Amino acid sequence: MKKVIGVFILVLLVFLGTHNNSKDSEKIVEKNHIPQTYYVATSGSDENLGTLEEPFKNIQKAIDTVKPGGTVLVRQGVYQAFEITNMQASVDFPVVIKPYQTEHVTIDVALGGGNGVHGIAVIDSSFVTIDGFEIKDSLVEQGNLLSLNACNEADLAVIKLPTNQSRGVKVEETKKGEQHNVTFQNLHIHHVARIGVGAYKGRDNKFLHNRVHDVGAYGWYMYGDNFLIEGNETYNTNGYGMHLWPTFNNSVVKNNNISHAGKAPCYYHEASDSVKDNFKDGVIISGEKTIFEHNTVSYNQGAGIRIVDVRDITVRNSEILNNEGVGIIEEAGREHVVIDNSKIVGNKAGDVMLSDEAVQVGNIVGN
């Protein structure tokens, strides 16, 4: 009997110890994820604690300090660029970077910081939201870089200078599976030398209610999986308005306005180190299983929408108007293209140039 009682007591002690250790572990996890807010102000110091009363000076300092579940609030002013790398937050403990209350915050690539090229770069990170910043290159804004003609050798030499490399924002995956669920929203991106918004691989990213204009190359350059591009305005780009290529898959593009792409006679295509005079379309799409709906594509110097190497692409409830090229044109391999309930009128090189296999339903076509 004593032996049985002894065994019972031993089991009870082990249970209590395990239970307490479990609770201690839970407390440690909770402590590590206590939502922490850090503040940044132009009057601050990176030696400060990052509180409202003692803010950091640079956004990068706050980025390097914040943990999953935390928020960075930036006071009014003009700041250096910043970069977020390997920030693995979660749906329960996301990271948010935004201006304090309704204050206006500008990221100026010309001031340096970050990776030296992008206003904001997010690399191999997840569940990060960037909200409400203006991003520009003040040297581009003050100069005449965007009006230069790359077909002119003297102008091209200026365009290719190392000081003229600025971009707006990018999200990029360099480690498979590490980049997902990043949101860029309510951004104003303008007067940068190259691309406004770039997304290179990754999945489940959102681009919401941004304004992109006056950029030296494409407004958007995107490829990846399961993206949502919604409510954005893009205009006055030297190259394509939206370049959704080469593998833009399982995504939705809706309620966007894309206009006045290809405004430069020629522009410098950095990837091929060559000059282009024909990348002027409002939108180019390549990939599979993507829906393009409730968009307006107008007054672009090339085609409205160019569909290339696609499978299962639907364009519906959209307006493709008054473009210099064809309204909607198909090229190269394509399978199951549907154009549905869209208004395609006033395009100077013709309104529709589609294969016989394309499905057209309920469209208004012609002048």
Residue 8 has pLDDT above 80, yes or no: no
CB atoms within 10 A of CB 143: 15
Q: Which of 316, 188, 93 is nearest to 328 (CA)?
A: 316
pLDDT in tens, 200-258: 999 999 999 999 999 999 999 999 999 999 999 999 999 999 999 999 999 999 999 99
Strands 242-249 and 220-225: parallel
pLDDT, position 28: 41
**Alpha carbons 286 and 308: distance in angstroms, whole number:** 5
69, 35 in Cβ contact below 8 A? yes
Residue 69 banded pLDDT, cuts 50, 70, 90: very high
The Cα–Cα gap between 173 and 171 comes to 7
Confidence of residue 334 (pLDDT cuts 50, 70, 90): confident
CA-angle at 68, arms to 65 and 73, nearest 5°: 60
Tell me how far apart the alpha carbons of residues 66 and 64 are, in angstroms, rounded to a whole number: 6
Closest listed residue to residue 114, CA positions, set 104, 126, 123, 103? 123
Instruction: Identify residue 82 by its one-letter amino acid code.
Output: F
User: Considering the chain, what is the average pLDDT of its residues?
Assistant: 92
Residue 166 · residue 143 · CB < 8 Å: no
Burial (CB count <10 Å: 0-12, 13-18, 19+), residue 328: buried
**What span, in angstroms and rounded, lies between the C-alpha atoms of 20 and 331?**
66
Residue 272's closest CA among 217, 213, 319? 217
The CATH architecture one would assign to domain 39-280 is 3 Solenoid (2.160)
| Cis omega (within 30 of 0) for bond into 246 | yes
Task: Indicate the pTM of the whole model.
Answer: 0.91
- Other C-beta atoms within 10 Å of 246: how many? 11
